[in-house]
């Protein structure tokens, strides 16, 4: 699947924006659409990452960093000291996707199988499997709900128990729908979202779906350029560490995991 030219132009327009977090909404022809803030992800530290990990989800859970990987799916507990996982559960021929934590349990999506795995304990044990309709791409936990992306323009909200649908918002950048929403991380009052095959990360208002900031993370893709060969080895995976607020990002099949700092651009 290719990124629609409309999305590329929207991201380019967002990157050209010179604004600050205190800017008021800027009206346009559509009537009162918020202008996104522009941020840049700067690399602070680099850590090893397994090059066989097709990263689909990344999240901190009970003080540990966990990763969900696709193709022959896995759930992994990571170490910042080694590319080899501390613990790993193989899921067989299941394409695992987004991963979320509510502090007590881990929730893991599957791509087209229509299955949600709920894990509890440490190391995690699969507590239950819940069926749902539609595709699973990204997942995060916000305000008592699980937030799911499916590669389209919508974010859907679900009850953690039973995964019942309880709401939805459409993601819009400068008033226009954004497609290919992928990995999600709910933190700092926003939903961070990867866009498939893009080096931009969005900050989304969970109440409205409005993109309030566009983060240029191209420094990370440049840092691994020449070290990855697959066309699918793209930026994917965002985790914010509770308490410290440290932000980590990586990509599918990348040899490195990055700790980053987000700076505004005047």
- Residue 190's pLDDT band, with cuts at 50, 70 and 90, is very high
pLDDT of residue 34: 77
Whether the pLDDT of residue 257 is over 70: the answer is: yes
Measured in degrees and rounded to the nearest 5, phi and psi for residue 223 equal -65, -25
Please give the residue that has the higher pLDDT: either 265 or 109. 109
pLDDT of residue 266: 64
pLDDT of residue 27: 37
Give mean pLDDT, residues 243-262.
98
User: Distance of CA 128 to CAs 11, 33, 248, 266, Å?
Assistant: 39, 42, 29, 48
pLDDT of residue 5: 38
pLDDT of residue 265: 84
Whether the pLDDT of residue 166 is over 80: the answer is: yes
Whether the pLDDT of residue 218 is over 50: the answer is: yes
Whether the pLDDT of residue 20 is over 70: the answer is: no
Q: What is the pLDDT of residues 138-159, one digit of tens each?
A: 999 999 999 999 999 999 999 9
> Which domains, ranges and CATH numbers included, belong to the chain?
35-264 (2.120.10.30)
Q: What is the pLDDT of residues 23-65, one digit of tens each?
A: 333 334 345 677 999 999 999 999 999 999 999 999 999 999 9
Q: Which of 11-20, 24-33, 119-128, 178-187 has the lowest mean pLDDT?
A: 11-20
Measured in degrees and rounded to the nearest 5, phi and psi for residue 218 equal -65, -20
Q: What is the pLDDT of residues 91-128, one digit of tens each?
A: 999 999 999 999 999 999 999 999 999 999 999 999 99
To the nearest whole percent, how much of the chain has pLDDT over 90?
86
């Amino acid at each position: 699947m290719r990124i629609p030219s409309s999305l590329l132009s929207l991201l380019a327009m967002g990157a050209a924006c010179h604004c600050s977090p205190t800017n008021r909404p800027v009206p346009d022809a559509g009537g009162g659409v918020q202008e996104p803030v522009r941020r840049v992800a700067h690399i602070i530290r680099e850590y090893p990452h397994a090059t066989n990990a097709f990263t689909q989800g990344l999240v901190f859970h009970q003080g540990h960093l966990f990763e969900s990987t696709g193709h022959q799916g896995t759930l992994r507990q990571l170490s910042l000291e080694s590319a080899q996982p501390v613990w790993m559960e193989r899921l067989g021929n299941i394409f695992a996707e987004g991963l979320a934590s509510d502090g007590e349990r881990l929730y893991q999506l599957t791509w087209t199988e229509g299955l949600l795995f709920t894990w509890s304990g440490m190391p995690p044990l699969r507590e239950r499997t819940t069926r749902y309709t539609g595709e699973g791409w990204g997942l995060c936990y916000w305000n008592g709900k699980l937030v799911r992306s499916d590669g389209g323009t919508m974010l859907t909200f679900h009850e953690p128990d039973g995964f019942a649908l309880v709401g939805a918002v459409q993601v819009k950048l400068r008033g226009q729908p954004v497609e290919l929403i992928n990995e999600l991380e709910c933190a700092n009052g926003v939903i961070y979202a990867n866009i498939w095959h893009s080096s931009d990360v969005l900050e989304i208002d969970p109440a409205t779906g409005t993109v309030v900031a566009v983060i240029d993370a191209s420094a990370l893709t440049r840092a691994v350029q020449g070290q990855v060969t697959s066309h699918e080895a793209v930026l994917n995976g965002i985790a914010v560490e509770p308490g410290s607020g440290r932000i980590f990002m990586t990509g599918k099949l990348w040899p490195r995991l990055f700790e980053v700092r987000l700076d505004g651009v005047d």
